[in-house]
A and B are shown apart, each in its own frame.
Chain A
Amino acid sequence: MRNFAFSSAENVDQAVSSERGNAGEASYIAGGTTLIDLVKLDVMRPVQVIDLNRLPLREVERLDDGRLRIGALVSNTDLAHHPLVTQHYPLLSQALLAGASTQLRNMASTGGNVMQRTRCPYFRDVAAACNKRAPGSGCDALEGVNRMHALLGTSEHCIATHPSDMCVAMTALGATLTLEGPNGTREIAFGDFHRLPMDRPDLEHELEPDELITHVTLDTPVVGGGSHYLKLRDRASYEFALASAAAMVAVEDGVIREARLALGGVATKPWRAVEAEQALAGKPARTESFEKAAEIALSDAVPREHNAFKVPLARQAIVRALEKASAASKHH
């Protein structure tokens, strides 16, 4: 892979100021599991790499308002096994452990997982047309081998799937990202962070070039909610999802009080199925309600030549995840 200048940031201020002036040519590195992979393919070409690992962003703490604040450098493994996560956000723990492998989870950071890039093979091949990698070059996936590609949130310019499992759980749970930049700190709702590809698939998120994710703060847990993360894939482990569903359901007297639903493997960003959630509220916690929600969640799906099966597959993931979540709800 091409060479680059390397430096370590000692604190957040230094991290954000050292990147200033090199916008677009500098990359942060935390776990490195995305960056190094893509630099080796010549897909990412940083001139400068800034190591974040000395920053004090490894804490997981419960805030006074009941929310959970996660430092951006907390590893996927540590987050998945953290007592506050396994106790209050088992959905997140399940999703994290469904992703990647032990080794990758040990390396990958929370902030880095949010910034994870697509597995689209045309994005990863510098000889292929890809609007995300080379804006304006076209999209070879549209008419190409697109079995793994997205159904939801696509455009005529990009159908690349967002690969993260963690982000699917976070978008279902509700979270806020804390961003630090030269002009100070700002917060953004997790659901607003990732952008749809539209006509600029290269613009993947709302982070400015000189900004850094410092924390992810999860909303307070839904009282009495049962949850389940279901990931469907070709083999039993160590593979990206064909379709996944993060479901959380609070059931009282057999009726759904509140539901959360997000999808992975089928969308261009971590996909919260808000209309399906609304349709579930007040309905009986039964398979028919879940099937209806699944229909709604996939109603805007745009299948391609090889991924049409993911429409029914995602529906199945939703129904089964909702069934399991409902069964786990404390008040059913």
Chain B
Amino acid sequence: MDTQVIGHRTPRVDGEFKLTGRADYTVDWQAQNMLYGYPVPASIAHGTLEKLHLDTARAMPGVVDIFHHGHFPKLYRSPNSPTHQDQVSEVRLPFEDERIHYDGQYIALVVAESFEQARAAAHAVHADYRRESGAIASLLDTDREGRLLASEGASRGDPEKAFDEAPVKIDHTYHIAAESHMQMEVHATLAEWRDERLIVHESSQGVVYQHKAMARIFGLPDESVEVVSHYIGSGFGNKLFMWPHAVATAGAAQMLGRPVKTILSRQQDMESGGNRPASRQRLRLAADPDGRLVSMRHDSTTETSFVHRYVDSLGSATPSLYACDNVAISQRLLEVHHGTPCPMRAPGETSGIHALETALDELAVELEMDPLELRRRNYADQDPASELPWSSKHLDDCYTSAAKRFGWERRDPAPGAMRDGDEIIGWGMATASWPALRMPCAARVELRDDGSVMAACGTQDIGTGTYTIVAQTVAELSGVPLKDIEVRLGESTLPAGPLSGGSMVTATALPAVAAALRNAFDALKEVATGEGGAFEGSDPESLEIEGGALKDDQGKRVSFGEMLTQQKLGSVNGEGQAAPGDEKGQYSFRSFGAHFVEVRWDPGISRLRVARVVSSIDIGRAINPSAARNQVEGSIVMGIGMALTEKLDYDPRDARLINNNYADYIVPCHADMPEIGVELLDNPDYAFNEFGARGVGEIGLTGIAAAIGNAVYHATGKRIRDLPITLEKVMDT
């Protein structure tokens, strides 16, 4: 497809709003007569709330009410059904009972006239607890195995027999600490009741889901709830599904008859607003002497809380990544006493691919084979799990291109062999992969008499650039310049769009927008060829769209706006729907890429830094290459944190979160950024959708921690199997 706008780097159409401070994030909204909510978190992880001492707080200036168990509306748990799109992050309702299941669980919500008053009063609430012993702080601190999940298992061939008979094998266990999303905008809700209608502003990755969940919980018809999320200070998965603070806020607003805004503190956000669960993974790989995989077993355990069942599917990529006849995956789930985990960027596979790609590096060492060569020898030309052909796979090109740009051929395989002054240089690589997902979607387009176009879809832009790619799509198909295109997202009243998750928005929403636009064109052609129209009597089929105008084969050209003005119409509309079709049974859809990493290890001062990352990623067609590359670069930065520093520290004695802030939970800062060279291959995947695009928000995070860990091994000769790789695990003592 020869394109004018799609596939060209495009400054964000919402850029000026973000750059001038005018973008309306949830935390920025205020309502008339609004109150401020501030949650009171439990300070124990396991036990019962015996008594709340509220008198002091109630008497403080500005305090309007304090909600808690026994003083809160009677609500209904959400059915939490993915099919019915009413999933929530935690099915337990706030203040449901007096049981405490994790540190930070809300035991009350203070509502006051100002933020300072609400916070001060929340600090003045005191609680008596009956503590129970045996709080499980983390999967990392216990020998418990968890429950085996039949639904998560898969196998082919006879991996056990093949493993036993193979000449070369490895069997190692890997741990990854729980991580925090640390999105810049904490969870926030502004809830307002207008008559019997609930209007919620929420920093949300899924306005449609939240609106349905709210309707279930408050026992309202769907149309009585509206959820708005125009700008989101990112989410990375923890804003996909609603959390209890939103329910608490809406309930308080209902009881008080005034709008209430609750903005979590960073501490509350980290304790009770989601996390990537800690994991334990055992990888058993076996190969023949030529490095061909003969057996892969991947057995995982992840955490969930005692109030919600969240499964991070760690083994889901493993059966598809490499050609191997004998494969088995299994997964266990362990309940722990900390806040409920939830999806975090490339959920499941980020952890799973980390273990697999580290294990492959270990196998390469056993085989005395270059780790890149090992991957090439096990290249999967079709999806070994589904036995379907790939819709489009160019991983071999990613390997070749990234290796060349990195200079991989100069690698001395001996650990510690490459030095530069005080520093030892380590080079490592790993494969990246993420499935290409697509869901049904609806959209609406309006062609207006002023020549502008409005496109609307009930999905969100969490910073990935959805506003811009929707505008690009409209511009490409209509010829209307970007400046005359308005995009509306983030409202549950718009035609239902997808969650901003799973890297599925591009492939899901753009075909729906295109369908709506084409229907709007048809409506316009009808007007144009109808009575009094500029092309009265012409065959609508004979008219073409070009440069924001209709054109006939005689060369006559009338702009959309002119046409509508002439007919005294404000606009014509098109509604459109799009959904995956037969291709689903014909192909397997997945993106691939390769990361190559250089670390620098200064053993004299135990300093470990990532110096250079070169990545080649194939995501089909990048609709907006600058925003797409930005996604991969950002994923690399996040992966550095996962590999080297990020860990939620739960006190093993009482399961309380210790590093509950931005100073003690260490994410990469600007000075940590390495030299980054990201290349996006341009191989449109038209079997997947008409624009040839797969998603790009997540794949960059997969494999990056493994590539870093593999580089650390190459530098130091030490295989660190537990993330994060903090310096004490590597240093010579």
Contacts and interface: CB of A to CB of B under 8 A. Distances in A.
B659 interface: yes
A79 interface: no
Given A121-B658, A237-B671, A239-B666, A309 B727 contact: yes
A240 interface: yes
Contacts of A236: 609, 669, 671-672
A319 interface: yes
Interface of A: 1-3, 40, 42, 119, 121, 125-128, 140, 143-145, 147-148, 230, 232, 234-240, 242, 309, 312-313, 316-317, 319-320
Interface stretch (B4-12, B225-233, B301-309, B644-652): B644-652
Nearest to A2: B120
A144 B669 contact: no
B669 A238 contact: yes
Nearest to B649: A145
Contact of B604 (A40, A143, A319): A319
B733 A320 contact: no
Contact of B666 (A2, A144, A235, A309): A235
Contact of A144 (B606, B651, B663, B672): B651
A21 to B, nearest CB: 24
A67 to B, nearest CB: 33
Interface in B646-674: 649, 651-653, 656, 658-660, 663-664, 666, 668-672
15 contacts: A1-B119, A1-B120, A2-B123, A3-B61, A3-B116, A40-B119, A125-B656, A127-B43, A140-B651, A232-B607, A232-B727, A235-B644, A309-B727, A309-B728, A316-B604
Given A125-B656, A236-B609, 20 more contacts: A1-B123, A2-B123, A3-B120, A119-B663, A121-B664, A140-B651, A144-B651, A145-B649, A232-B605, A234-B726, A235-B668, A235-B671, A236-B669, A237-B669, A237-B671, A239-B663, A239-B666, A312-B732, A312-B733, A316-B606
Contacts of A242: 727
Contacts of B731: 309, 312-313
Contact of B672 (A3, A147, A235, A316): A235
A163 B668 CA distance: 20
Nearest to B608: A234
Given A3-B116, A144-B651, A234 B604 contact: no
A312 B123 CA distance: 41
Contacts of B672: 235-237
Given A1-B120, A235-B669, A312-B731, A240 B663 contact: yes
B667 to A, nearest CB: 8
A2 B671 CA distance: 36
A1 B668 CA distance: 29
B323 to A, nearest CB: 39
B105 to A, nearest CB: 13
A121 B606 CA distance: 25
Contacts of A240: 663
A154 B604 CA distance: 27
Contacts of A144: 651, 653, 658
Contacts of B728: 309, 313
Interface of A is mostly: loop
Contact of B645 (A125, A143, A234, A317): A234
A305 B72 CA distance: 44
Contacts of B119: 1, 40
A158 B120 CA distance: 28
Contacts of B651: 140, 144-145
Contacts of B606: 232, 312-313, 316
A17 B720 CA distance: 59
Nearest to B659: A121
Contacts of B652: 145
B51 to A, nearest CB: 16
A37 B396 CA distance: 52
Contacts of A232: 605-607, 727
B653 A143 contact: yes
Contact of A234 (B120, B644, B649): B644
Contacts of B664: 119, 121, 148
Contacts of A147: 649
B191 to A, nearest CB: 25
B605 A234 contact: no
Contacts of A230: 605
B644 A309 contact: no
A234 B120 CA distance: 34
Contacts of A319: 604
Contacts of A40: 119
B23 to A, nearest CB: 22
A41 B158 CA distance: 57
B130 to A, nearest CB: 15
B670 A234 contact: no
Contacts of B604: 316, 319-320
B328 to A, nearest CB: 37
A1 B659 contact: no
A140 B733 CA distance: 27
A93 B660 CA distance: 31
A89 B730 CA distance: 35
A128 B45 CA distance: 13
B658 to A, nearest CB: 5
Nearest to B127: A127
Contacts of B653: 143-144
